[in-house]
């Protein structure tokens, strides 16, 4: 420890004399991240001056890290306008984060930029029916600030006997974070959460406040212009379909107006099966006609063992359908495949990861045993309680999610994915640590939605944090699948930074329209970030 402290002192002396020394800056950065105990308070003061930073931000698993000059917590629209004005004056970039549940670099700001944490913007807002084209429809519209979590949004809706039409499996995300990256649930008639958005209030790069809606939006333009003074109404399909899923690139979002539904109950059932049976159920009966399992269930999902055991890939088929009920009944039991092992005992996570690192070939049997524990019959509760996965989502893991078109080729595409899993196991001894899931989502109009323009099967690959080959395996699978199938997209948040400018142009037919609006809203490059650098769309890098 004494030797480490002396080395740190010498490193600081060198940096004070030569603050632009990249090699020594990188070494110091590593020591900060690794928690070097010899970096006492005085040393941190030197570090802050050297890096021109005062704070560190990281995502939920400390895998994406950035060093903003400040993290602000805006509480209202004026705070956002002020923050953007300050960033302009200081000639630095600005970005809003959410709850840090993305594994790609969509959230980090450039070193020395300004980062906004929206969690204090969590209020329900009042809608003035006099501003709407159809005032009687106001009862199914719900205005809310962008930093509210899905959990708190569900609570607020439930108090009013309302609910989201659909949601993802985790409720800890901020609303803006979930919508802006394309978060979704399952159900072939239900789009991503972004599909429920009817208006977005956003502050652009020059500080202008817009309320952005589709061309045939909910607001009456004449009434809006007469009565609203703090924002400009922009009713334009290109603008709306760009900003609703834009990964923070087009502005700082203050609030949304959502279309919601009456509160409802769901019945959840989980049944054991095999992929060999399920793929018969997912085969199109005739060209252009969807399989019955997709059309006869409101929510349909499949969890699949990536590896065969005794010649078969075990599955759990989950269905959730509306029921006429007024109280909960039944029990879910185990939430998810790792819940029974991990949710109640944090130490179990450590030992499971250690075992899978030492004996990766045990993974197929472990996954099988976990799937066998998931059977549920006739569990009924309010929609948001059934759709939320529960505490297991607090387990430290990372994930990649692939987007496939739902068509006659889907079953063959999943068979190919299974072959990729097996090849990685045979050649590299790399194994997944759990099952992968199939969820089905309606097409989205948003230009960069992973579900844009097509019925979609979202395939999520989860990996426990700490599996030594985890990152390499997920990245390898993503690249090999995309090389073999030119229609596979990747979720913006559930990605290990594999998406490139070239792939966006090929995979998203409306990319040029999206880019045009992005360029109008980010004229000065104030929303440039490591993410826009990766996509090669940064306007005017300020760092």
Q: What is the pLDDT of residue 540?
A: 75
Maximum CA extent, the chain: 74
Contact 334, 379 (CB under 8 A): no
Confidence grade of residue 20 (pLDDT, cut at 50, 70, 90): low
Q: How far apart (Å, rounded) are the C-alpha atoms in residues 497 and 499?
A: 6
CA angle 539, 58, 518 (to 5 degrees): 20
Average pLDDT value over all residues in the chain: 90
Burial bucket for residue 250 (CB in 10 Å: 0-12, 13-18, 19+) = buried
Phi and psi at residue 414, to the nearest 5°: -70, -35
By the 8 A CB rule, do 378 and 269 touch?
yes
Structure confidence at residue 92 (pLDDT): 94
Distance CA 103, CA 456 (A): 21
Q: What is the pLDDT of residue 30?
A: 59
Positive/negative CA dihedral, 193, 196, 201, 206: positive
User: Among residues 306, 293, 69, which one has the least CA distance to residue 188?
Assistant: 293
Q: What is the DSSP string of 236-288?
A: -HHHHHHHTT-TTSS-EEEEEEEE-EE--EEEEEEEEEEHHHHHHHTS-SSTT
pLDDT value, residue 154 = 98
- How would residue 344 be classed by pLDDT, with cut points 50, 70 and 90? very low
Residue 418 and residue 313 in contact, taking contact as beta carbons nearer than 8 Å: yes
Residue 375 pLDDT:
86
Residue 106 banded pLDDT, cuts 50, 70, 90: very high
pLDDT for res 25: 61
Q: Is the pLDDT of residue 285 over 80?
A: yes
Which tokens belong to 152? 């708190």
Q: What is the DSSP letter of 497?
A: S
How confident is the model at residue 467, as a pLDDT?
94
Tell me what the mean pLDDT of segment 283-306 comes to. 95
Instruction: List, in order, residues 6 or more apart from 291 with CB less than 8 Å away.
Output: 281, 282, 283, 284, 285
pLDDT on residue 411:
98
pLDDT at site 403: 99
On the question of pLDDT at 22 being above 90, the answer is no
Going 95 to 99 to 104 to 108, the CA torsion angle's sign is positive
* Complete domains list, the chain, with CATH: 1-51 (no CATH), 120-262+507-527 (3.30.465.10), 265-495 (3.40.462.10)
What pLDDT is attached to residue 45?
46
Quote the CA–CA distance of 118 and 115 in Å, as a whole number. Answer: 10
CB within 8 A of 271, min separation 6: which ones? 316, 317, 375
164-175 confidence digits (pLDDT tens): 999 999 999 999
Question: Has this prediction a pTM greater than 0.75?
Answer: yes
pLDDT tops 90 at residue 543: no
Percent of the chain beyond pLDDT 70? 86
Across residues 400-428, what is the average pLDDT?
98
Whether 502 has a pLDDT exceeding 70, the answer reads: yes
| 380 or 49: which leads in pLDDT | 380
- The count of other CB atoms within 10 Å of the CB of residue 311 is 7
* Separation of alpha carbons 24 and 11, rounded Å: 7
**Statement: residue 40 has pLDDT above 70:** no
Does residue 48 carry a pLDDT above 60?
no
114-161: pLDDT as tens digits: 999 999 999 999 999 999 999 877 789 999 999 999 999 999 999 999
């Amino acid at each position: 420890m004494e030797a480490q402290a002396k080395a740190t002192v010498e490193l600081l002396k060198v940096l004070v004399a030569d603050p632009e020394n990249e090699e020594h800056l990188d070494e110091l950065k590593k020591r900060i991240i690794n928690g070097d105990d010899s970096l006492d308070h005085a040393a941190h003061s030197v570090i802050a001056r050297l890096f021109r930073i005062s704070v560190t931000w990281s995502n939920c698993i400390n895998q994406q890290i950035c060093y903003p000059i400040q993290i602000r917590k805006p509480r209202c629209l004026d705070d956002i306008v002020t923050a953007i004005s300050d960033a302009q004056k200081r000639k630095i970039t600005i970005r809003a984060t959410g709850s840090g549940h993305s594994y790609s670099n969509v959230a980090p700001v450039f070193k020395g930029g300004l980062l906004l944490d929206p969690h204090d913007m969590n209020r329900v807002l009042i809608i003035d029916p006099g501003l709407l084209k159809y005032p009687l429809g106001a009862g199914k519209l719900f205005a809310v600030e962008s930093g509210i979590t899905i959990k708190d949004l569900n609570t607020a809706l439930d108090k009013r006997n309302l609910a989201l039409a659909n949601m993802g499996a985790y409720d800890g995300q901020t609303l803006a974070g979930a919508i802006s990256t394309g978060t979704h649930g399952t159900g072939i008639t239900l789009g991503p959460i972004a599909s429920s958005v009817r208006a977005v209030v956003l502050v652009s790069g020059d500080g202008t406040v817009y309320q952005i809606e589709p061309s045939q939006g909910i607001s009456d333009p004449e009434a809006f212009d007469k009565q609203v003074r703090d924002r400009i109404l922009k009713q334009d399909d290109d603008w709306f379909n760009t900003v609703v899923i834009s990964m923070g690139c087009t502005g700082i979002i203050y609030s949304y107006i959502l279309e919601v539904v009456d509160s409802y109950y769901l019945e959840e059932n989980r049944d054991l099966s095999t992929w060999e049976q399920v793929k018969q159920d997912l085969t199109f009966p005739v060209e252009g006609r969807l399989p019955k399992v997709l059309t006869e269930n409101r929510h349909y999902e499949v969890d699949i063992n990536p590896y065969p055991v005794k010649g078969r890939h075990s599955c759990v088929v989950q269905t959730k359908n509306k029921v006429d009920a007024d109280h909960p009944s039944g029990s879910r039991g185990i939430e998810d495949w790792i819940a029974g092992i991990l949710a109640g005992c944090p130490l179990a996570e450590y030992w499971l990861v250690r075992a899978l690192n030492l004996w990766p070939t045990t993974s197929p049997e472990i996954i099988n045993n976990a799937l066998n524990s998931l059977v549920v019959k006739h569990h009924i509760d309010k929609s948001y309680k059934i759709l939320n996965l529960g505490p297991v989502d607090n387990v430290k893991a990372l994930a990649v999610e692939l987007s496939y078109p739902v068509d006659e080729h889907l079953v063959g595409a999943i068979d190919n994915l299974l072959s990729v899993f097996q090849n990685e196991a045979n050649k590299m001894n790399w194994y997944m640590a759990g099952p992968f899931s199939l969820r089905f989502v309606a097409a989205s109009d948003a230009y960069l939605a992973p579900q844009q323009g097509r019925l979609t099967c979202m395939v999520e690959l989860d990996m426990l944090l700490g599996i030594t080959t985890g990152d390499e395996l997920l990245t390898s699978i993503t690249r090999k699948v995309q090389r073999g199938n030119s229609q596979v997209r990747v979720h913006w948040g559930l990605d290990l930074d594999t998406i490139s400018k070239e792939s966006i142009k090929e995979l998203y037919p409306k990319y040029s329209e999206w880019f045009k609006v992005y360029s109008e809203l980010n004229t000065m490059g104030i929303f440039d970030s490591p993410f826009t650098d990766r996509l090669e769309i940064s306007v005017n890098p300020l760092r």
